Amino acid sequence: MTPVARQEVLGLYRRIFRIAKKWQSASGQMEDTIKEKQYIINEAKTLFQKNKDLTDPELIKQCIEECKARVEIGLHYHIPYPRPIHLPPLGLAPQRGRAFRNQERLRKLSKPAYLRSYDEVS
């Protein structure tokens, strides 16, 4: 990892923990605030720990972009959880064959940047 990327990653990590420290839930309930703060901390620790051994600069850049997107979306909508996406079901293609693989590939490509690693962790 280049020193610039390392500095950016550590800055994002610190930023997330600062956000978690100041976080207030949209409902205003203290127990919701505590749950959401804990979710932010656990999610950050899990994802950063999972990606700590990455060496490919492109993969690191993708993870940084995902992190920035999730932070901005969380701050904008006042929810720490990833926003759901609505993709069409795979029910139209047979379970094997070219059409199914093509549909599966399109679904993977249409997944937003802020959800790239969400399915792997959850």
- % residues pLDDT > 90 (the chain): 51
Greater model confidence, 23 or 115: 23
- CA nearest neighbour of 119 among 85, 96, 91, 95: 85
Could you read off the pLDDT of 73-109 as tens digits, one per residue? Answer: 899 989 898 776 665 665 555 666 677 777 777 777 6
Q: Domain locations in the chain?
A: 3-77
- Where are the alpha helices (H) located in 23-92, listed in sequence order? 30-50, 57-77
What Rg do the C-alpha atoms of the chain give, in angstroms?
17
- pTM of the predicted model as reported, rounded to 2 decimal places: 0.74
Residue 122 has pLDDT above 70, yes or no: no
Q: Are 20 and 45 in contact (CB under 8 A)?
A: no
Distance CA 12, CA 64 (A): 8
Could you read off the pLDDT of 7-19 as tens digits, one per residue? Answer: 999 999 999 999 9
